[in-house]
Amino acid sequence: MEGLITKKLSRLREYLKYLKTIREISLETFLSDFKERGAAERYLQLAIETIIDVGNEIISILQLRRPERYREIPHILAENDIIPKEFADRIAKMIGFRNILVHDYATIDRTLEYQFLKTRLSDFELFMKHIANWLKREASEINLSEK
C-alpha cells in the first residue's frame, strides 16, 4: 500500500520542483513564451493527476465508495478523515482546473493559469502532508493490531 502511494508522492514532489522554477518567471514571459507556458500546463496537469491517482489508490485500498467523477475523490477522502473537508473543496476545484487544462485548453485564460501557478502550489504540499499523516496513522494502527 504505502510503496505505490509514496512513489506517486515522490513524483509529485518532482513536478512541484519544476513548477516552482517556472513560477519565478514574469507574467509577461509566461504569456509570450510558449515553452514555459507549455511546461507549466503539463506539470500542473501531471501534479493534479497524481493527486487523483493517490486518492483513487486510497479509495481502493480502504474499499470506500467509488467516485463517479474525479472531483468527488477529495470529498470521499474528507468523509473518511484523510483530508479536512474545507481542503477537499479546494482540491475539487483544482481537479476542475485540470479538466480545463486537458479538455478546454484552447479557451484557457493564461492570466488565471499564471495566478494558479503563483498561488496554489502550496495546496500540493498540503495534500502531501495530509497523506503522509494518514500513512503514519495507518502504519501505527497496523502495528497495534499485530501486537
**What CATH number corresponds to the domain at position 128?**
1.20.120.580
Please list the pLDDT of the chain residue by residue as tens digits (147 residues).
Answer: 568 999 999 999 999 999 999 999 999 999 999 999 999 999 999 999 999 999 999 999 999 999 999 999 999 999 999 999 999 999 999 999 998 888 876 778 899 899 999 999 999 999 999 999 999 988 776 554 454
Q: Are 26 and 141 in contact (CB under 8 A)?
A: no
Q: Are 29 and 131 in contact (CB under 8 A)?
A: no
Q: How far apart are CA 39 and CA 22, in angstroms?
A: 8
Number of domains in the chain: 1
Which domain range does residue 97 map to? 2-146
**Cβ neighbours for 84, distance < 8 A, ≥ 6 positions apart:** 78, 130
Grid-cell match 467523477, residue found: 69
